[in-house]
Amino acid sequence: MMNSMNVPSKRSTLERKLDKLILALFATLFLMCLIGAIGSGIFINRKYYYLGLEGKVEDRQFDPSNRFVVVILTMFTLITLFSTIIPISLYVSIEGIKFIQSIKFINQDLNMYHAETNTPALARTSNLNEELGQVEYIFTDKTGTLTRNLMEFFKCTIGGEVYGTGITEIERGIAQRNGVEPAEERKSANAVHEKGFNFDDVRLMRGAWRNEPNPDLCKEFFRCLAICHTVLPEGDESPEKILYQAASPDEAALVTAAKNFGFFFYRRTPTLIYVRESHVEKMGHVQDVPYEILNVLEFNSTRKRQSVVCRYPEGRLVLYCKGADSVIYERLAEGNDDLRKVTREHLEQFGSSGLRTLCLAYRNLSADMYETWNEKFIQAKSSLQDRERKLDEVAELIEKDLILIGATAIEDKLQEGVPACIETLSEAGIKIWVLTGDKMETAINIAYACNLINNDMKQLIISSDTDEIREVEDRGDPVETACFIKEAVKTDLKKCLGDAQQYLHTVSGPKLALVIDGKCLMYALDPSLRGMLLHLSLNCSSVVCCRVSPLQKAQVTTLVKKSAKKITLSIGDGANDVSMIQAAHVGIGISGLEGMQAVMASDFAIAQFRFLTDLLLVHGRWSYIRVSKVVMYFFYKNLTFTLTQFWFMFQAGFSGQRFYDDWFQACYNVLFTSLPVLMLGLFDKDVSASLSKKYPQLYMEGLKNVYFRWSVVAVYAFFSVYQSLVFYYFVTISGSSPQSSSGKMLGLWDISTMAFTCVVTTVNLRLLMSCNNITRWHHISVWGSILAWFIFIFIYSGIMTKHDRQENVFWSIYILMSTSYFYLTIILVPIVALVGDFLYQGVQRWFFPYDYQIIQERHRHEPDDTSGARLLQIDNHLTPEEARSYAIAQLPQQRSKHTGFAFDSPGYESFFAAQVGVFAPQKAWDVARRASVMRTRSRKQRKS
């Protein structure tokens, strides 16, 4: 609850800019209407006798004696007439396009399908598709996001002695970076390796710990692992078959380690924990010991520790505590400085190896002390107000004067493809920040392992783990400590900012990486230092924040989002990442091993971090380009159509006379230009998916907002004005002479029908010029829309009923098509209208090409990877079995008629599989169902 945030309502940045464009169109509409209204007030005059304005005029809109009323009424008339400039259907079209993009393209992309867990990508919202193409900052958790979240007990330190002989992936990477051949890992003959346990050291296994210099501490260490937890055992009470259900993989790994060390936790009741202890009294002796659990002080992100008060069978009262070294060391009893110093060195050694560490400690309690404390604990637990705060305060009373036992070191390996993914995203201009609760040494080495930091970077480190800060903390004055750390952080920020400016001003200066811990970050987020932190962070290529709480993750994300005005993306896999996911513009949840909280709070869900490459560089980039083109095309076609009516206004004496028939105006956006723009938004593709990932620099076009800026709007507006002038004046001037031997002139509705035909034809052909690849769907939609106009006008102008206004265009198309004027105009006008676009695009492509146009030229003779089979070959090689598993998962499902309401079986799965060319063996329920159907049919035939 302390780290929770209100669920935000998210809209993409492009949508917000679209709102500004709509406001600009409203301003243009107002200006056009104002010009027409003022012109009407000036034009209305009794000297135009043919207008019938002599004497009293009944229509107040044309009354020369009251020009102010004329201006006002004409203003409202023109607002109705020019309202087509506002693309009302734009939002509906965009939502439809983005919805189909989500369910058909993102959700069904095999490159983002994880075969091991049978998990495809999931777009949980369609509002933010194009936002994926403009992300500049990624904030990521480490555990379960960059790593697999498969915890294995790897090493430990007990009483100042390190145990465990394994070599981690990080240690191998460090050796390779230093040019040293990593040492070969030698496993002992009796080494045990199971899920959660990858420890090898004969000194602790099979009771050998009894021969160590500190056997009593070893015993306390193992009992702390076996007792201090909230794990639930399941299955048979045997070491080989038991299963542990834990709140986190770390806890399960620690209990599994205790089992392999001879302290087997096998049963839990509400008040007791049963541990089968081996080799305690003597070698080979096994005994079942019940420990009474009196109190459990649970772990949370603020406490960063967990404690259990238990009673031994002989009556001994003990508090076992495990947690982060920063909180455990603050609560240790005085004395035993040597052990504390050695253990701290071991912790730094484990952190440098990329291991997750926890400190273990205990405290012996007297009966009187415990009874006094327990009364306060019960009172706090039964409190109805501020229960969490009161429990934390009571816990502080007993979690002190602890005796250090040692520390555990757990390995969590990197996910597959993470280093390559981060390197690719960095080349795309995206900056990645790691926000983790791990130690600084662990976080730095993980950053090295996943290519976030390299040896060529200059590291700027702001840490609270200094001798000066420790000395002030030891005095015990919280006010003095806070003031001192704040000043130290301020000094470090100024120093790092000065160094950063110095490096950035050099010609070939190194890239910068900032590393800061949670305690310093807490003070750096203070309003007085926040600006300095932001300025420093934005100058760094990578940022690593260690020992941070979930709330701090959200605060850092919000700082960059709101203060720097950058588009942010947060990705995590656990409940502690929810606030960070909700704070960013785009939230990505990884469906890992820590539940579904992150996925349920996210906008998109993927199974592996490496799938970000496809999600951002392929789908995000395509969506941004497509939606931008759709918006610009809507703007262009509506402005072009409305401006022809605007030019006619000057010839009609600003009277508000309409140029087009009402049905033309009503159907323009609905029938004659709607389908092609949908095809543009769904199928336009500048380069293939493989080239998008091969050249990640293409993504920078989205960061610079190349396709949706005011300069692009100005270009489209210029050609709209040009084409509208061509449509109106070419058609009206060429149609002003007699078109038949009888000398009859074409009327207003004949000219407007001709102009509308040219508009529909041209704006649809203009769409083909906007496409990078033209598919059969583009041809069907464009030529189908033009054909729909002709079918409509043939029917509409050939039928007339009484008391309607259809006599305006009655028989007009047939009259037009009987003249050569129609055929010359329908060919020449679109050519003249589009020649400007053709020349502009040609000059732009030859002399000022976009990056994607250069890539197109380089790979113009290569086949496109549009098929699903080709997509499978890109960066994610699925085996035939994996591809078949995914294909079967996507097959239609049907509820079985023979299994009851509560059971859901995939009916006719083999049939649907055969339809898509995937082999799926027949299931028992398929055979039974068909047999049942055959019996039913045979009975009916007998009866008949």
* Residues annotated as catalytic (active site), given as ranges: 141
Distance between CA atoms of 379 and 389, rounded to whole angstroms? 13
Residue the block writes with tokens 């029908």: 753
By C-alpha distance, which of 288, 284, 226, 287 is closest to 218? 226
- The number of beta carbons lying within 10 Å of the beta carbon of residue 185 is 12
- In degrees, rounded to 5, the angle at the alpha carbon of residue 278 between the alpha carbons of residues 272 and 279 is 135
Taking phi over 0 as left and psi of -120 to 50 as alpha, with beta for the rest, 540 belongs to beta
**Residue 652 neighbours by CB under 8 Å, 6+ apart:** 659
What is the number of other CB atoms lying within 10 angstroms of the CB of residue 117?
Answer: 12
Neighbours of 473 (CB within 10 A): 18
CA-CA-CA-CA dihedral for 334, 336, 342, 344, to nearest 10: -20
* Paired sense of beta strands 604-606 and 586-590, if any: parallel
Taking the C-alpha atoms of residue 841 and residue 853, their distance in angstroms, rounded to an integer, is 11
Cβ neighbors of 121 (< 8 A, separation 6 or more) are 106, 107, 109, 112, 113, 604, 605, 606, 607, 611, 615
* Coil vs helix vs strand at 348: helix
Report CA-CA distances (Å) from 668 to 140, 255, 370, 641, 831: 47, 70, 82, 9, 21
Q: Which long-range contacts (CB under 8 A, 24 or more apart) does 670-673 make?
A: 670/89, 671/785, 671/788, 671/789, 671/792, 672/760, 672/764, 672/785, 672/786, 672/788, 672/789, 672/792, 673/637, 673/760, 673/763, 673/764, 673/785
- b/e sequence 22-51, b meaning 16+ C-beta within 10 Å: beebeebbeebbeebbebbbebbeeeeeeb
Angle made by CA atoms 852, 561, 614, in degrees to the nearest 5: 35
Centre a 10 Å sphere on the Cβ of residue 403 and count the other Cβ atoms it contains. Answer: 17
* Alpha carbons 613 and 693: distance in angstroms, whole number: 7
Amino acid letter at 58?
A: E
Q: 3-state DSSP call for residue 175? A: helix
Q: Identify which of 112, 144, 193 has the alpha carbon closest to the alpha carbon of residue 414.
A: 144
Q: Are 593 and 144 in contact (CB under 8 A)?
A: yes
Q: Do residues 321 and 305 make contact, with C-beta atoms less than 8 angstroms apart?
A: yes
Amino acid letter at 827?
I
Give 64's contacts (C-beta < 8 A, 6+ positions apart).
44, 45, 46, 53, 57, 70
What is the separation of C-alpha 54 from the centre of its chain, rounded to a whole number of angstroms?
Answer: 69
Residue 188, classified by CB atoms within 10 Å of its CB into exposed (0-12), middle (13-18) or buried (19+), is exposed
User: In the structure, how many helices (H) and strands (E) does the chain have?
Assistant: 36, 22
CB of 691 within 8 A of CB of 859? yes
CA end-to-end span of the chain: 70
Q: Cα–Cα–Cα angle for 729, 735, 736, nearest 5°?
A: 90
Single out the residue of 407, 398, 373 nearest to residue 164, CA to CA.
Answer: 407
Helix, coil or strand: residue 829: helix
The pair phi, psi for residue 289, each rounded to 5°, is -120, 120
